[in-house]
Structure 1
Amino acid sequence: MLKKHPTIKKNDKVMVIAGKEKGKIGTVLKVDSEKGRLIVEKVNVVKRHAKPNPRTGQGGIIEKEASLHISNVMVVCNKCAEATRIGKRVLEDGTKIRTCRKCGEAVDA
């Protein structure tokens, strides 16, 4: 089965729309299009117990962001400052850009 290419990219500002972290806004750190998941900065933070090793240094309880499903977040438009759907538009020179469905402003910086 073919996988759909995600409309959310790294460094996008997103809002969580479902789950225990609903309403939080953060920046996308990583997108895994194969699994349909992404990691958002300071959202869905979990605690992991780690043994001391050369890579992590001192052991203990480490807090890190866990992944969210891509359907549980929406891109936040820079102009409207709201969570919005993403549309696509082709410019005169042939380049494709992502646009806000509410105001029509380009999401790509």
Structure 2
Amino acid sequence: MSAAKIKKGDRVVVLSGKDKGKHGTVLKSLPKDGKVVVEGVNVVARHRKASQVNPQGGIERSEAPIFACKVALEDPKTGKPSRVGFKVQENGTKVRVAKRSGEVVNG
């Protein structure tokens, strides 16, 4: 099994679609589906009928998953989109690295 390129908590940039250019944090990663949920991106509105739990009802807005290939990791140095690489440090730990600047990505 390969290591995940984009994980929960990463800062990402949307590369294509209606939210192109937006920056956000990954709230949830869905590796089986190849999708991620990004904060403030792909917001959908659901009309909810009034119920016991929600007596008011109304329009509920929430983020929907988007394909992981449509987002790129935000470079920690420049803030621009970057690909992800892997590097083994001197102490033997494997870390994710932003290809654009060579900076180690936290997380």
> What TM-score does the superposition give when structure 1 sets the normalisation length?
0.90
C-alpha offsets along residues 86-105 of structure 1, whole Å, 9 cap, x if unaligned?
Answer: 11000111111000111111
Unaligned runs of 5+ in 2: none
Please tell me the root mean square deviation across aligned C-alpha atoms, in Å.
1.6
Matched, 1:92 2:95: no
Return the alpha-carbon distance in structure 1 between the equivalents of residues 52 and 7 of structure 2: 33
Paired residue type of 1:9: K
Paired residue type of 1:12: D
Paired residue type of 2:28: K
> What TM-score does the superposition give when structure 2 sets the normalisation length?
0.91
Paired residue type of 1:44: N
Deviating above 6 A after TM superposition, structure 1's stretches of 4 or more consecutive aligned residues are none
What is the correspondence of 1:18-57 to structure 2 with a 5 Å cutoff? Answer: 18-57=16-55
Return the alpha-carbon distance in structure 1 between the equivalents of residues 78 and 101 of structure 2: 7
Return the alpha-carbon distance in structure 2 between the equivalents of residues 19 and 37 of structure 1: 14
State the identity %. Answer: 42
Question: Given the superposition, is the C-alpha separation of residues 66 and 96 from structure 1 closer, same or farther in structure 2, using an over 3 Å criterion?
Answer: same
Total equivalences in the alignment: 107
What is the correspondence of 1:7-26 to structure 2 with a 5 Å cutoff? Answer: 7-26=5-24
